[in-house]
Structure 1
Amino acid sequence: MDLEQALQTFLEESRELLDEMESILLDVEAEQTSAEQLNALFRTMHTIKGSAGLFGLETIVSFAHQAENLLDQLRDGKLALDDELVGLLLRCHDHVKLLIQALTANEALEPLRDEALEAALLGYLAVPQAMQPERHHEDPKPAASQRERWLLSLRFGPDVLRSGLDPSSFIRYLATLGEVEQIHAISCRLPAGADFDAEGNYLRFELLYQSDIDEQSLSEVFEFVREDSELFIWPLKIAAAHLHEACASATPDEAAEVERAWHQMGALGQAFPLENPAAAPDPLLEHPLATPDDEPSLAKPSPAGRADIQAEPAPAADARGGRGGESRFIKVEAGKLDSLINLIGELVIAGAAANLIARRSQQTQLVEATLSIANLIEQIRAGTLSMRMVQIGEIFHRFPRVVRDVSRELGKEIQLRIVGAETELDKSMVEKLGDPLLHIVRNAIDHGIEPPPVRVAGGKPAQGNLWLNAYHESGSVVIEVADDGGGLSRERILAKARQRGLLGEDEEPPDSAVFQQIFEAGFSTAEQVTNLSGRGVGMDVVKRGIEQLHGNIEIDSEAGRGTTFRIRLPLTLAIIDGFLVEVAGSTFVLPLETVIECIELPSGLPENGVHDCINLRGELLPLLHLDHFFELTPTVAARRNVVVSQYGDRKAGLVVDALQGEFQTVIKPLGALFSTLKAISGSTILGTGEVALILDVPALIQHACRKESERFALPPRADAARPGSPLQGSTP
């Protein structure tokens, strides 16, 4: 096994373990601590310590060992997990995470030592036993008489030393989990003369071992050396039935030595003296093994891919023969997946071109063949895109710690509630959502939720509530951040906007337009500047970040009741199902998920402006004539069509000249020159090789609804009654 690959595995698994540790510590604050949670906390730090020891990372090993000792006392009931201790363990989590990040960046670890934190740990460990609170552990360690005795037959691969792994370190690690009673080292096919390789491994080990750990944990010890190794584990009492398996690939001399060792350990009946003193175990190996304080521990990786080593009662097999139970998941480098999706995008374009040529040829068989290929391409596309979908809980689960720390800094009591963490979104979008959500959550804690005395005086519970919610709606993903605080002050925001010239003195915009002012750069109504907020920095960045993901953000707020920030995002930014329309001789693409229906444009409607509306089955539907909107030269068409589109709870009709049908659309980003366009979200390549623009339907619907609302809502001006006035007759 490549040592660099093993190190990357260690770093990734350490991050996962630290996430698990943080989640447990935040959970136990709200619930009664269980023995299972305490054991999980101990295993987290114990595993990181052991894995770090494998790579000689003494800084991580020494600190993790101190934290492990504290957690050991905690699970044994010698300490109680109170609020202060949770805070200390969270600091330990942060410190180990910092060390892992430094190791990932190839930075030195020793300068990062936190002596104050180490002193705090030692202070807990030095508390006299009589002064420590009494706790009864629900899962006491088994007595020695309850421990299982195991026979381990370990034949490490010939390149184990060359890969940087020391077989003896595995045995030292076993000693930290139980007691190694006997070790027998047997030379395997030892060559003579020039054929001897000083970096090769020619030893196998037969061990008699006693421990209270289960066979699963025992198997995980050898995760890093399962390749090219023969590793067997059996309970001692049934090992005799498997002697032939242990010797299946051994030479006759080696098999005789293995049988002699098993007799010596009592696996084949009563032990007897060795006839050949030269075959006795190496005295260095028989010496008492080092304790965890003397030697770095060995890695005990996480359960992923654990079944290569055989342990009864599972069916015995050679570790090289594959896993006893295949893992349901594999890890793929993100860059490889992105490259695959790009290639599939090009395949979609090439398939569209082939289908166009086939239809022009009017050869039925060729058309059918290209349609079959297109169907397969669509299935491949859908399957590949699903691989990039990850649960948004990956982000949501960062926030319990943020809420805990920030609320305590501000002296507030806040309960975070997460709903819809299983909602899936494109991985590239999830990674970019972290900062915008962080800004919104911090502002909700600082500005939104009142201090406990204010809440109590207003008839509310002292503890505030903050919700993170995600769900699918109309082909989009909706993410909500809601609080039950004091709500936004329309009057203060409106006054500030007028002061800065963002709104006119006589304007009375709706609440939604007023609340959108907080996204202006430098806009803040905070009376005090803190280290969290009040400088007007952040909310404009939030909106810009959401718009870069082709999404939008809305605000609902009610004074005294709370505020909800609602973010709408497309499911993916790679390949979508599109709907082609023709406007003034140009082709545009609408995301198919936003299209509800298509109807013929009623005759007799005035076309002297961009906006008008129709009655769609009793519903007022604003219309947007795309040729007028984009200032294209109108063409004469026998009939025109309305594409009824919806985004969220808003609808609008987009007037087009012709409908061209569905089209698999590969999204190509626009250059920096077009970055300020609000109605265009990207481009694609058609089967003809032409470029078609992808319309930003949410922006178009918002524009149509806003303009039509203003048109009907504004009172008539003094010149409204003059003949020829554009406002004449516009009010109902």
Structure 2
Amino acid sequence: MDMDDALKTFFSEARELLADMETALLGADVAPGAAVDVNAIFRAAHTIKGSAGLFGLDGVVRFTHVLESVLDEVRSGTVAIQGPLTPLLLRCCDHVGAWVDALEAGVELDDGHLAAEDTLLARLRAYLGAEAAAPEPAADETAQPTEGQWHLSIRFGADVLRNGMDPLAFVRYLSTIGRIERIVTLPDAVPALEELDPESCCLGFEIALVTSADRATIESVFEFVIDDCELRLVPPRSRVAEYVELIRALPEQPERIGEILVRCGSITERELEDALGRQRESDPPPRLGALLTEQGQVAPEVVEAALDRQRQVRETRTAESSTIRVDANKLDRLITLVGELVIAAAGAQQASRRVRDLELQEAHATLSALVQDVRDSALNLRMVRIGATFSRFKRVVHDVAAELGKDIELRVGGEDTELDKTVVEKLGDPLMHLVRNAIDHGIDSPEQRAARGKPARGVVGLNAYHDSGAIVIEVSDDGGGLNRERILAKARERGIVDADHVPADHEIDQLIFEAGFSTAEQVTNLSGRGVGMDVVKQNITALRGSVELASRPGEGTTVTVRLPLTLAIINGFQVAVGRSMFVVPMEMVDECVAYSCADGHDYTDLRNSVLPLVRLRELFGLGGEPPVRQNIVVVQCAGARCGLVVDALLGESQTVIKPLSRMFQQVRGISGSSLLGSGGVALILDVPALLAVAGHGRYSPPERCAIVA
């Protein structure tokens, strides 16, 4: 990993840490009495500061240093996190995010952001004492009386460079917490030129650091490489005995180490001679824990507690190291190759059937099972939890509610529901429109809620769950519901609905998805321009999904979005109508029955229940006469059922989804296409659209048609 790659990782991790901070802060704001993980918030800010220092991002370091100081006061209980501090810290998260965005784009912050930074820093320092609020001392400033000279011995491990870390970056970062008086570079471990590995680190440093920071702060500078280096600290005004221990522990010759200590100014020549004399005369040093205990400096219980904590840290890092980051483009390439493998396997299957070689067919059956396992594993790599997307809207609800003067809580369910990464990325904007619409139009004002006997705090809900091979996302509110009279009046005014036509309630509800439709009385930053809900429907439809709306006057509104789990490969059920091939998503297939009916009715009797039919031959205008015996594929979605009348059933197959060209994207009932093993093309049926066709059909009184099981 080079420094550019490491910097990209920093940007990604910084955004994740900021998201974690924001989530915790919003939790404190929504539930003031609840416990807040202040330590997690502090660690996030500290990690961002430390990582930024490694890359020389001084602007981020300066700002997060003051932010970290305030959080340290919160952690110690001196400052309460509730009240006005929470919005301030949220704005600080936004500002650090702006820094990250600017640095990633390779530009400087504009004057507006810099002015905002000055304001934020002034407000943060108001929570600090004069000493804590003061900026860190520059390198040429006189040391304060509380400062002292620490001696640092650092030996970096051989794999530090391979892990994307720059040893000099850590040394440079020390200057942000103090002043480096002297530094000696140790090349003793560098091998002969013919044995030198350019990717291995062989350097060590002896550093005299003047700082008022404590041991934990100095050690935290090296927390990213603590497992790949040997770090030893000798505090200010230490006794000669501690330097004796340092000389014993370091790998170089004692005389060489002593010379370096003198050059760093950590000890004098006389102290060096005394230390070397003791080192020659003494026995091997005892264990550190025992030594501290014998000297009465640390109780045995403290030593054991420290060791337990160290073991926990190691275990946590081991767990973290079990995951790796993979570039999204590599995953997309893998899915594409798996799709081609599925198509090639289907072609091989047809070839094996033609030659009628049983041994070849058995071998292909084994190959098909392996291909399916590879497909499932590859698709699972792209499956992500939707909880991360839902968490983004906590801040949206917080800010928009404050802008509108409403008290609103966001309730989230189904955060562990997984779906394809590509779907998640394209789902953000539609959900943003729906959530903002629920806040602005859905939740009624505090006065209206009081008049209706509702709690003062409104509720916006986000919920996700799996259903019939799809993911269902519900955006709900407990507001006043849709004003159908105003919607209908506006629709008639625009000529969308005829003056003499009286539509049903569900038809009125669907009018809000018309392009440019709005009932807002005035244009605001949030609504009134008629742009939003129509865009939501277009974006959801482009993802092969559907959107429905249900509203209850005085109780609230729920928008239901149904999307496929993946946009890449699905299990499909192939059917034929004449020479045309179609694929039905397998998760939506209930059963198949033989069918024989010559009266042309758009329904049939299936086990004493009326089943509406969709005849694909008539729907798509396919030529040819239907066979005497046809088949019905019974499909279901969102609780609705219908039967698809087809000529032949061809069985289950893995289906690689290919998008339709723009010419065919408006064809109703078709959501995509797929290449067959024979080289032909099969169209993938849009089952929700076909159910809508069946639901709007005009049926005659039920008559029994012949169904052959």
Q: Which TM bucket (shorter chain)?
A: 0.7 to 0.9
2:4 — aligned with what? 4
Give, as a single letter, the amino acid of the residue that structure 2 aligns with 1:468. L
Aligned length: 631
CA drift of 1:156 comes to: 4.6
Structure 1 residue 701 displacement after superposition: 1.1
Matched, 1:506 2:503: no
- State the Cα deviation string for residues 237-260 of structure 1 (Å, max 9, x = none): xxxxxxxxxxxxxxxxxxxxxxx9
Q: TM-score with structure 2 length normalisation? A: 0.80
Alpha-carbon distance, 1:541 to partner: 0.4
The one-letter amino acid paired with 1:616 is: L
CA distance in 1, matches of 2:169, 2:422: 44
- Checking the alignment, whether the CA contact within 8 Å between 1:585 and 1:635 is kept in structure 2 is no
Correspondence 1:116-265 to 2 at 5 A: 116-126=116-126, 154-157=155-158, 165-167=166-168, 169-170=170-171, 173=174, 186-189=186-189, 203-205=203-205, 213=216, 221=222, 223=224, 231-232=229-230, 264-265=244-245
Distance 1:313 1:186, change over 3 A: farther
Relative distance call for 1:62 and 1:342 in structure 2 (3 A) is same
Q: Deviations over 1:87-124 (max 9, x none)?
A: 11111111110110111111123646433443343244
Asked if residue 456 in structure 1 is aligned to residue 450 in structure 2, the reply is yes
Contact preservation (8 Å) 1:233, 1:312: no
Query: Alpha-carbon deviations, 1:696-731, whole Å to 9, x = none?
Result: 11111111112247x889xxxxxxxxxxxxxxxxxx
1:94 maps onto 2:94 in alignment? yes
Q: Which residue of 396, 416, 423 corresponds with 1:422? A: 416
**Is 1:46 matched up with 2:36?**
no
**Does the 8 A contact of 1:182 with 1:265 survive in 2?**
no
Query: Is contact 2:339–2:569 with CA below 8 Å preserved after alignment?
Result: yes
* Matches for 1:634-645 after TM superposition, within 5 Å: 634-645=624-635
Corresponding position: 1:667 with 2:625:
no
Deviations along 1:340-378, whole A, 9 cap, x unmatched? 111111111111111101011111000111111111101
Q: Which residue of 2 aligns with 1:362?
A: 356
Deviation, 1:280, is: 3.4
Q: Tell me the distance in 2 between the aligned counterparts of 1:192 and 1:380.
A: 48
| Unmatched segments (≥5 aa) in structure 1 | 133-148, 237-259, 288-310, 714-732
1:29 counterpart SS class: helix
Give yes or no for contact 1:183–1:286 (8 Å, CA) kept in 2.
Answer: no
Alpha carbons 2:604, 2:611 under 8 Å: kept: yes
8 Å contact kept, 1:644–1:653: yes
Letter in 2 for 1:265: E
Deviates more, 1:674-683 or 1:14-23: 674-683
| Contact 1:390–1:426 under 8 Å retained in 2 | yes
Whichever residue aligns with residue 15 of structure 2, its letter is R
TM-score (norm: length of structure 1): 0.78
**Cα distance, 1:73 vs. partner?**
2.1
Structure 1 letter corresponding to 2:531: V
Residue 129 (structure 1) shift: 6.0
* Aligned pairs for 1:467-486 within 5 A: 467-486=461-480
**Paired residue type of 2:556:** G
1:394 aligns with 2:388: yes
Given the superposition, is the C-alpha separation of residues 525 and 187 from structure 1 closer, same or farther in structure 2, using an over 3 Å criterion?
closer
34-43 vs 426-435, which moves further: 34-43
SS of 2:527 mapped into structure 1:
coil
- Report the CA distance between 1:13 and its aligned residue: 1.1
CA 1:86–1:312 in structure 2 vs 1: closer, same or farther (change >3 Å)?
Answer: closer
Q: Give the SS at the match of 2:84.
A: helix
| 1:84 maps to 2:84 | yes
**CA-to-partner distance for each residue in 1:266-293, whole Å, 9 max, x for gaps?**
6859xxx966797332634749xxxxxx
Q: Would the aligned equivalents of 2:153 and 2:206 in 1 still touch at CA under 8 Å?
A: yes
Q: Deviations over 1:37-75 (max 9, x none)?
A: 222222222221221122221221111122222222222
Deviation per CA, 1:491-518: give whole Å up to 9, x if none. 2222222222222233333222211110
Instruction: State the shift of 1:126 in Å.
Output: 4.0
SS in 2 for 1:398: helix
Q: 1:625 aligns with which of 599, 612, 615?
A: 615
Which residue of 2 is the match for residue 298 of structure 1?
A: none
- 1:112–1:201: structure 2 CA closer, same or farther, 3 Å change rule? farther
**Conserved 8 A contact 1:488-1:557:** yes
Deviation larger for 203-212 or 337-346: 203-212
Quote the Cα distance in structure 2 between the aligned partners of 1:348 and 1:476. Answer: 22
User: Using a 3 Å threshold, how does the CA distance of structure 1 residues 324 and 123 change in structure 2: closer, same or farther?
Assistant: closer
- Would the alpha carbon gap of residues 712 and 424 (structure 1) be closer, same or farther in structure 2, given more than 3 Å must change? farther
Change (3 A) 1:33 1:220: farther
Name the CA distance, whole Å, in 2 between partners of 1:33 and 1:589. Answer: 54
Over 3 Å counting, the alpha-carbon distance change for 1:33 and 1:71 in structure 2 is farther
For residue 166 of structure 2, what is the amino acid of its counterpart? L
Corresponding position of 2:303: none
State how far apart, in whole Å, the 2-side matches of 1:364 and 1:196 are.
59
For each residue in 1:118-168, what CA deviation from the matched residue of structure 2 results, as whole angstroms up to 9, or x when unmatched?
3343244246869x9xxxxxxxxxxxxxxxx99976235499599883447
Larger CA deviation: 186-195 vs 450-459: 186-195
Matched ranges for 1:573-722 at <5 A: 573-603=567-597, 605-607=598-600, 612-708=602-698
SS of the counterpart of 2:444? coil
Any idea what SS the aligned residue of 1:581 has?
Answer: strand
What displacement does 1:522 show?
0.9
Q: Which range moves more in the overlay, 478-487 or 506-515?
A: 506-515
Cα distance change on mapping 1:518 and 1:25 into 2, 3 Å: same
Letter in 2 for 1:283: R
Contact kept, 8 Å, 2:582 with 2:682, in 1: the verdict is: yes
1:351 aligns with 2:351: no
The Cα shift of 1:231 comes to: 2.2
Output the CA distance in 2 between the equivalents of 1:81 and 1:633.
Answer: 72
Which one-letter code corresponds to 1:40 in the other structure?
A
Distance in 1 (CA, whole Å) between partners of 2:20 and 2:100 is: 15
The answer to whether 1:531 aligns with 2:525 is yes
In structure 1, the partner of 2:273 is: none
**Partner Cα distance (1:422, 1:196) in 2:** 49
Name the stretch that deviates more: 18-27 or 486-495: 486-495
SS in 1 for 2:541: helix
Q: Distance in 2 between matches of 1:591 and 1:198?
A: 54
Whether the 8 Å contact between 2:26 and 2:395 is mirrored in structure 1 is: yes
C-alpha distance in 2, partners of 1:440/1:356?
A: 47
CA distance in 2, matches of 1:150, 1:36: 38
CA distance in 2, matches of 1:527, 1:388: 44
Aligned-pair distance for 1:183? Answer: 9.3
SS at match of 1:634: coil
Counterpart CA distance in 2 for 1:197 and 1:588 is: 60
> Where does residue 489 of structure 1 map in the other structure?
483
Q: Answer whether contact 1:26 1:401 (CA < 8 A) is retained.
A: yes
What is the aligned-residue identity percentage? 46
For structure 2, the residue ranges without an aligned partner over 5 or more in a row are 133-149, 235-239, 268-305, 703-709
Is structure 2 residue 547 aligned with structure 1 residue 553? yes
Cα RMSD, aligned residues only: 4.0
What is the CA–CA distance in structure 2 between the aligned matches of 1:276 and 1:231, rounded to whole Å? Answer: 20
- How has the CA–CA distance of structure 1 residues 661 and 201 changed in structure 2, closer, same or farther, with 3 Å as cutoff? closer
Q: Which moved more, 1:538-547 or 1:184-193?
A: 184-193
* Preserved CA contact (<8 Å) 2:152 2:206: yes
2:13 maps to which residue?
Answer: 13
In structure 2, the partner of 1:301 is: none
CA separation in 2, counterparts of 1:351 and 1:652? 32
Q: Report the Cα offset of residue 470 of structure 1.
A: 0.3
Matched residue of 1:541: which SS?
helix
Q: Which residue of the partner structure matches residue 275 of structure 2? A: none
Instruction: Kindly state the Cα deviation for residue 535 of structure 1 after the two structures are TM-superposed.
Output: 1.4
Shift of 1:436: 0.7
Matches within 5 A, 1:25-64: 25-32=25-32, 37-64=37-64
